Amino acid sequence: MSLVAERLSVELGGRPILRGIELAVEGGEVVGLVGPNGAGKSTLLRAMAGELAPSAGRVIFDGTDARSLDGAALARQRAVVSQRSEVAFDYTALEVVAWGRAPHAPVETPACRAMARRALDAVGLAERASSPVVTLSGGEQQRVHIARALAQIGFGETGRYWLLDEPTSSLDPAQRRLVVRLMHQARAAGVGVLVVLHDVGLAAWACDRIAMMNDGTVMQLGTPREVLTPERLREVFEVDAAVDPSPWNPEVPRVTFRLGDD
Ligand code: ADP
Ligand code: MG
């Protein structure tokens, strides 16, 4: 079971953005997309979610071309946490999370409500269930969207793939660690996770494999230790980087960028 990009190219506004991407996300693994701003990470995530039509190549969900799946069928296969998620109206946190179940069942059922509560609890927001989402902080809203997607995949019982675009950008370290745990729990349930991470240090903790992107292509695909080398980081980000074993787990590379001039 896998989510595959096969010779995938995407054009936006008449410009080639992705060029010939080959990438497979297996059930039960976390694959990270890392690379500089504008590398094409969000575009690749959206294309692999079936939200963007390829100009060449294809996206395949468990053997089925994404083009032959309609929106409802896609929504049962995978859940997406977008880089920017706006909630336009005064819906409560619980209502937004419950929508995640809509592809599977009517959202008013007790089972749906129970799943929504479980998901809100998983992101530490059980107390805010009846708060209008617009009154929550940026980090809390980000967690509501993570909970909505978790409800959509039913923690792995009803959906096979979870795609997240910079899900930790507004989160403090304890909440970032929580998101890593949630991705690992989904992995243990057999979910294939594809996640865009701005923070390569976080990617080292979260991901089984990392696709290093630059200029619309995957430059390197491998384990965090294979990909996060000083040479590769310097080449792609154009900033000096030192890499050493994490003091907490020597298998995890710790990346330090040289962010000053002295
Ligand atoms: P990343 O997520 O790695 O920062 P994106 O996938 O968002 O990069 O963007 C990759 C490139 O595609 C950028 O140069 C961006 O300007 C361009 N791009 C993104 N969306 C559009 C669009 N709707 N129309 C034209 N170009 C776009
Ligand atoms: Mg992006």
> Is the pLDDT assigned to residue 83 strictly greater than 90?
no
Cα–ligand 2 centroid distance for 196 (angstroms): 7
> Is the pLDDT assigned to residue 87 strictly greater than 90?
no
Counting atoms of ligand 1 from 1, which one is nearest the CA of 196?
2
Q: Residue 12 maps to which CATH number?
A: 3.40.50.300
Counting atoms of ligand 1 from 1, which one is nearest the CA of 43?
6
Could you tell me which of 43, 204, 210, 207 has the C-alpha nearest to residue 219? Answer: 210
Does residue 208 sit within a domain? yes
Residue-range definition of the domain harbouring residue 47: 2-257
> Is the pLDDT assigned to residue 88 strictly greater than 70?
no
Whether the Cβ atoms of residue 68 and residue 117 lie closer than 8 Å to each other: no
Strand duo 30-34 + 192-196: pairing? parallel
What pLDDT score was predicted for residue 213? 98
Cα–ligand 2 centroid distance for 143 (angstroms): 18
- For the chain, the domain total comes to 1
> Is the pLDDT assigned to residue 216 strictly greater than 90?
yes
Does residue 262 sit within a domain? no
C-beta pairs of 48-54 under 8 Å, 24+ apart in sequence = 48/3, 48/5, 48/8, 48/23, 48/163, 48/194, 49/74, 49/78, 49/80, 49/163, 50/74, 50/78, 51/80, 52/10, 52/12, 53/10, 54/8, 54/9, 54/10
CA 10 from centroid of its chain's CA atoms: 19
Mean pLDDT of 229-247: 97
Tally of residues, the chain: 262
3-class DSSP assignment, residue 46: helix
Does residue 93 sit within a domain? yes
Enumerate residues lining ligand 1, CB below 6 A: 12-13, 15, 17, 35, 37-43
Please state, in angstroms and rounded to a whole number, the distance separating the CA atoms of residues 126 and 36: 35
Does residue 105 sit within a domain? yes
Cα–ligand 1 centroid distance for 131 (angstroms): 34
Mean pLDDT of 124-138: 95
> Is the pLDDT assigned to residue 107 strictly greater than 90?
no
pLDDT confidence band for 93 (50 / 70 / 90): very high
3-class DSSP assignment, residue 193: strand
